[in-house]
Amino acid sequence: KQEVTQIPAALSVPEGENLVLNCSFTDSAIYNLQWFRQDPGKGLTSLLLIQSSQREQTSGRLNASLDKSSGRSTLYIAASQPGDSATYLCAGTTIKAAGNKLTFGGGTRVLVKP
């Protein structure tokens, strides 16, 4: 059974600093790993999807890496801005099958102070 953990649960940084968010998973047979952003009272916005054959994905200031052997994924946000304040969730699925059962971590709540 896949378990996903995100530490720390909360993080506060000054504007301009780079953010490093960690995600660990127990089953290395991961098929997809997806990073989401959730603003208070809102739904989840997909940020990056890393498939099992990939090691990283980049979109603008965001870069996510996947290391299946160590069971870790890291989301980097360069030059953080107050608008990056949100909860970031990672989620993984272990098999390619109809249904794509994502297992979510508990999230890291990020505050970027101006």
Partner 1 sequence: DTAVSQTPKYLVTQMGNDKSIKCEQNLGHDTMYWYKQDSKKFLKIMFSYNNKELIINETVPNRFSPKSPDKAHLNLHINSLELGDSAVYFCASSQESTSGSGELFFGEGSRLTVL
Q: Show contacts with partner 1 in window 63-82 (CB under 8 A).
A: none
Stretch 34-53: interaction string toward partner 1, x if CB under 8 A: x-x-----xxxxx--x-x--
**What is the Rg, in whole angstroms, of the alpha carbon atoms belonging to the chain?**
14
Closer residue to partner 1 in complex, CB, 13/44? 44
DSSP β-ladder status, 108-113 and 10-14 = parallel
CB 77 within 8 A of CB 18: yes
Give first-to-last CA distance, the chain, whole Å: 41
Quote the least distance from Cβ 32 to partner 1, whole Å. 5
Q: Is 89 in the site for partner 1 (CB under 8 A)?
A: yes
